[in-house]
Structure 1
Amino acid sequence: MGKSKRIWLLALTAVVSLSVVTACSGPNNAKKNTGTTEPTSAAATTETEPKQDKVTFKIFNGVAGSKDGNTNETTIGKLLEDQTGVNFKLEFVVGDLNTKIGTMIAANDYPDVLIPDAAIEEVLNAGAFIPLDELIEKYGPNIQRVYGKSLNQMRSKDGKIYFLPIAAQVNDFIPEPEAGAGFWVQRRVLEEAGYPKIKTLDQYIELIKNYRDKHKDENLTGMVSLTHDWRFFATSNPPMHLMGYPNDGNVTVDTNTWEAKTYAGAESTKKWLKALNDLNAAGLFDKASFVDNYDQYIAKLTSHKVLGFFDYRWQVDNALNVLKDAARKDPSLDGFKYFPLPVTFEEGTPDAYLDPPGGLVTNRGIGITVSAKDPVRIIQFFDNMLTEENQTLMSWGIKGETYEVNEQGRYYRTQEQIDKIDEPFRESFGFKYFSWNWPMYNATSTLADGNAKNVASQPEVFQMTLTDKDKAILEKYGVQTYSQLFAEPVPRPYFPAWGFAKEQNSPEQLWEASKDEMTKKYFPKLVLTTPDKFEAVWEEYMKEFGKLDTAGYEKWTTEQVKAKVELANQ
């Protein structure tokens, strides 16, 4: 998993940004959408159709990060309720996701709508989702327009569609200006070091070590890592990035042969864990990384005490936004903001942290459950969300309040609008609730008029969001956006491999479950043991890892990759 979420994603990207995630791109992302179906707005039909009674549906989101509440308590949610009569009471996961989903399955009692995230196979296996095919055909012209020819990719083995993948590429592909992932370091560390170009893991660690050694009285933490629950990938994924591969989850994929290879038992993983082991021995690694939950991790990132970490932007966006808001109000706090670096093992290795244009993630999504009171109203709400008007509303907001339009039809924000859209405003207006996990255009999409769907991807807006200190540090590195620090992504029509759907209790799912259990058991030992015992623990780990049918998993994944590439080339 990874989320560009996604894994998985987380995710998750201020403009939560979505970057995450994981962000899925259609195979023909360089072309305009050629669908002939025009968006149908519920708001536009209210004069000819009687308004329906208002209704509230329950929705459970398996991704933590927001507080529970009603969508109609936000500006965007109230406008959508005015259009459709529908409000959603949102509940976000607290604690273990599998336990929560397992309780629902055991009781056969579900919310109206479910976003099960990593537990989606369990939900499908339990028969908790209703098929959506007839609903989409009767009430989903915008769903058909947005998901287009990807609809067949969304079908289960029985030929039916049970959930809508989160986000689809629409129209042109625009890379986001923010970095989607990387090795992050506090800006004050770079400033004190003279803004060096950090390209390798060794250089990154040396940078952090030197700063900590000069500030021993500040009680600083060199690095932390996230291991909580399904987010363990933030600790297990770095080897593929350090080798120069994008986030394909458990594998790396050769673009010449389309062969998939796992790396959990490779030298790259050993090298990464040995680096953490050395950091720990030097007192630079936070041992609590293996016991902290997600909220504790985020709190540490905003404490000003953590010098560096690896993660995906969507997953740490809450922390980055808090630091950004604080520094905007008090520029003296700018040094505590984090800067992304394109770190690899070897200096000559091109990085691949930016998600490439790829396919549709088909193992994450939003579905209507067998407990739903009125599936028709729900699918109509989803379809209404996918109009151009509402995609604009969910990203840009309200014209004259959160954005403007110039004479050329370009969307922009005034400095006053930019300044007021801080984290509390994003929550109250609804930008946070509606930034991810609903059916929507992918963040790298464009609207029909050519404007970027993602506000931050509009060049003129992004430049205005930068403070003088932002511009100064970017200028030090000879770039205008954070993503320009990273190598251009190489197109991968299958991407991401972590998004391949797997049947419940299939050999490939069992391999992943066993591998996850094994890494969660041995990685803490490998990092926290004394350096002289590292080799012995690694040998023990490899003996256990060797019992898995890794060759079978690689064969299956390679078949999925090649099948998607072939489909994209048709």
Structure 2
Amino acid sequence: MPFAMALVLASLLAGCAKDGGDSAPASDSAQAEASKPVTFTYFNAAVAGKDGNTNETVLGKLLEEQTGVNFKIEHLVGDLNTKLGVMVASGEYPDVVVPDSGIDKMLDAKAFIPLNDLIDRYAPNLKKLYAPYWDQMPSEDGNIYIIPFAASHGFVPDMYQPGAFYIQRGVLKEFGYPKVKTLDEYFDLIKRYKEKHPQINGGDTIGFETLTDDWRFFTLTNPAPNLNGLPNEGEVYVDKDTHLAYATGDKPFMKRWIRKLNEVNSQGLLDKESLVAKYDQYIAKLSTGRVLGFFDYGWQIIPAMQNLAQAGNDDRQFIGFPLVFDQGTKDQYLDPPTFATNRGIGITTSAKDPVRIIQYFDNMVKEENQKLLFWGEKGKTYEVGENGRFFRTEAQIKQAASPEFLQSYGFAYYSYYWPMGAGLYEDGNAYFPDRQPEVVEQSYTEGDKTILEAYGLKVFTDVYSPPETRKWYPVWSANKQQGSPEQVFEQKKTDLQRKAFPRLILASPDQFDAMWDEYVAAFNKLNVKSYENWANGVVQDRLDGKKR
């Protein structure tokens, strides 16, 4: 549709809404107002980035040509609660806010306007995209204040490693690329390799590294349910048959995991410093090439993986495996399609023109624009094969890895934090290039191809079992008010584990059971039952299609 015609249609719709649904055409002045270029303000509290205008990028300019709308984007600097607190106190907000974990603060302050009527009147594409999740979006008062990201349509695994037990490729090569399925097999390989190679790159070989810094403490606790064949639900696991939730903190699989770390420490395989190290120290340690193994998530280790790739020694790079305690256990590390309602984007009470903002959102979620925002322009940032499959050339992949290009083209602004889809387009291509096998395979190095061939894999995530459908998943994404019983439980539980788990890991093995019993006694003094009741409420509400 030509831009001028689109603006006329928008103004007619606005005129109808203003006149209570009257079909009379809008006045010339109303049309002129609707066609006037406009800049809205957008505050992103979720991620650091370069502030600027969307129309200063290729993608943003294309959308401005379609809609007449530009966004001036500001990112968080400093403390989130302080920043939002200043906004709330003044009652003055940017037009659009992505509040991240400050969502409850903004909702409590009634900083967002209801979107129900706006979506019904002006956003048919938005409503279509979010239709499978529509019942989960309203708050308790029935109003939709936040548009979550993203509405998933079909399952597409992350082509790169999600949660996994990583191990150096050189360790696997040393022993003929053995299959590694259980935790015991994994640590046996690390132990044998360390004994043969006590030093790497001029320093002592480190068998296993952990990460416990600040909010990243979950990296230490999350493996326990995964090793037992369970997905990551946060502080609970949910019985798939009964749909009942149980706290994980005192369960046998948590004890078995922490005991294994105690055993690993007693064998001299654990880096004790990692129990108190900061995140940057952890990344620096991984980057040395002296660490044989660790558990983590792909997104959290990107700097270290880049450093190792630049060093050029493929033996010191890693591959991850979805380990379990026992042979025959089906792993559940991959996330099924999810819809998290506790993160998203809202239009504030200060917004100058909510209608044009929602129309911008509606325009950007058209499938052709979703492809534009995530893949770019055909012939420039991606190609289409004879079979209709999207791919990128080697040069395009290299281009898309450049931070400067991502910023100037607009991928840095539009890759997330807007209303958006996920999964598969109607033609079967993946929403995101980094989940398209043709793109990922093209980006592999010769070293990548060697390790993949050794294990009979096309992409690294082929080692994972498909995720089982869980309508309630994940419980951890449910909204928790600051100071609520469930939030207080989580904080006290984490505080307890921060003290207890390092002591348990470093203890003499013959003292472990007694110390574990002390920990469990302290854990059970917390309001565990109340937290489980809350989690069960989340599960039941989601089974019933309600938002939590």
2:44 matched residue in structure 1: 60
Matches within 5 A, 1:138-217: 138-170=121-153, 172-213=154-195, 214-216=197-199, 217=202
**Are the equivalent residues in 2 in contact too, given 1:62–1:93 (CA < 8 A)?**
no
Tell me by how many angstroms 1:230 deviates: 3.0
Matched, 1:471 2:455: no
Q: Structure 1 residues 279 and 168, CA, compared in 2 at 3 Å: closer, same or farther?
A: same
**Are the aligned partners of 2:42 and 2:96 in contact in 1 as well (CA < 8 Å)?**
yes
Q: Does 1:429 align with 2:391?
A: no
Task: Quickly say closer, same or farther: Cα 1:43–1:437, change in 2 above 3 A.
Answer: farther
- Equivalent positions of 1:213-224 (< 5 A) are 213=195, 214-216=197-199, 217-224=202-209
1:344 equivalenced with 2:344 (yes/no)? no
Structure with bigger gyration radius: 2
1: distance between equivalents of 2:492 and 2:50? 33
What 5-or-longer segments of structure 1 have no aligned partner? 1-39
Q: Distance in 2 between matches of 1:481 and 1:100?
A: 42
For 1:388, give the aligned amino acid.
E
1:155 to partner: Cα distance: 0.9
- Cα distance in 2, alignment partners of residues 343 and 452 from structure 1: 27
How much has 1:199 moved relative to structure 2? 1.4
| TM-score, L = length of structure 1 | 0.81
Select which of 414, 421, 444 maps to 1:441: 421
Instruction: Verify the 8 A CA contact 1:70 1:87 in the aligned structure 2.
Output: yes
Q: Distance in 1 between matches of 2:509 and 2:246?
A: 28
> SS of the counterpart of 1:169?
strand
Separation in structure 2 between the aligned mates of residue 531 and residue 93 of structure 1, nearest angstrom: 46
SS of 2:73's partner is: strand
Partner of 2:114: 131
State the SS of the aligned residue for 1:487.
Answer: coil
TM superposition shift of 1:362: 1.6
Bigger shift: 103-112 or 183-192? 103-112
In 2 relative to 1, CA 43–506 (structure 1 residues): closer, same or farther, beyond 3 Å?
farther
Residue in structure 1 matched with residue 13 of structure 2 by the alignment: none
Cα pair 2:437 2:459 within 8 Å, conserved = no
Deviation at 1:508, TM superposition (A): 3.0
Q: Using structure 2 for the length normalisation, give the TM-score.
A: 0.84
Residue of structure 1 aligned with 2:293, choices 298, 301, 308: 308
Once residues 371 and 223 of structure 1 are traced to their aligned partners in structure 2, the CA distance between those partners, rounded to angstroms, is 51
Shift of 1:280: 4.1
Q: CA RMSD in A?
A: 3.2
**Cα-to-partner distance string for 1:263-307 (whole Å, 9 max, x where unaligned):** 112122222223333444555434454554444444444443433
One of 487, 491, 509 as aligned partner of 1:513: 491
> Residue 254 and residue 408 in structure 1: after superposition, are their counterparts in 2 closer, same or farther (change >3 A)?
same
Q: In the superposition, relative to structure 1, how do residues 220 and 135 fare at CA in structure 2: closer, same or farther (>3 Å)?
A: farther
Amino acid at match of 1:519: Q
Provide the residue aligned with 1:274 in structure 2.
259
Shift of 1:157: 0.8
Given that 1:69 and 1:91 are in contact with CA atoms closer than 8 Å, whether structure 2 keeps it comes out as no
Distance 2:2 2:470 in 1: 34
Tell me, yes or no, if structure 1 residue 362 matches structure 2 residue 341: yes
Cα pair distance change 1:42/1:362, threshold 3 Å: farther
Question: Aligned match of 1:122 in 96, 105, 115?
Answer: 105
Quick one: distance in 2 between partners of 1:496 and 1:43?
A: 45
Instruction: Identify the residue that residue 75 of structure 2 maps to in structure 1.
Output: 91
Distance verdict in 2 for CA 1:531–1:144, change over 3 Å:
same
C-alpha separation in 2, matches of 1:224 and 1:179: 18
Distance 1:294 1:446 in 2: 34
Q: Distance in 2 between matches of 1:293 and 1:138?
A: 50
Cα shift readout 1:402-448 (whole Å, capped 9, x = no counterpart) = 11123443322223322333243444433344333322112xx2223
Q: Which amino acid aligns with 2:141?
A: D
Match for residue 399 of structure 2? 420
Are 1:334 and 2:334 counterparts? no
Identity of aligned residues (%): 46
Mapped contact 1:86–1:381 kept (Cα < 8 A) = no
8 Å Cα contact 1:240-1:252 kept in structure 2 = yes
Unaligned runs of 5+ in 2: 11-33
User: 1:107/1:303 Cα in 2 relative to 1: closer, same or farther (>3 Å)?
Assistant: farther
Tell me, in whole angstroms, the C-alpha distance in 2 between the residues paired with 1:287 and 1:90: 40
Equivalences for residues 498-537 of structure 1 within 5 A: 498-503=476-481, 505-529=483-507, 531=509, 533-537=511-515
Change (3 A) 1:157 1:206: same
Q: Deviations over 1:216-259 (max 9, x none)?
A: 24334333333333332222211110111112111112222212
Matched, 1:45 2:6: yes
User: Does 1:543 pair with 2:521?
Assistant: yes
Higher helix share: 2
Q: CA–CA distance in 1 between the matches of 2:62 and 2:269?
A: 49
The question of whether the paired residues in 2 share the 8 Å contact of 1:59 and 1:113 is answered with yes
Taking CA–CA contacts closer than 8 Å with sequence separation of 6 or more, which of the two structures ends up with the larger relative contact order? Answer: 1
Bigger mean CA offset, 302-311 vs 391-400: 302-311
- SS of the aligned residue for 1:183 comes to strand
Determine which of 344, 361, 367 is the counterpart of 1:388.
367
Q: Is the 8 A contact 1:42 1:384 kept in 2?
A: no
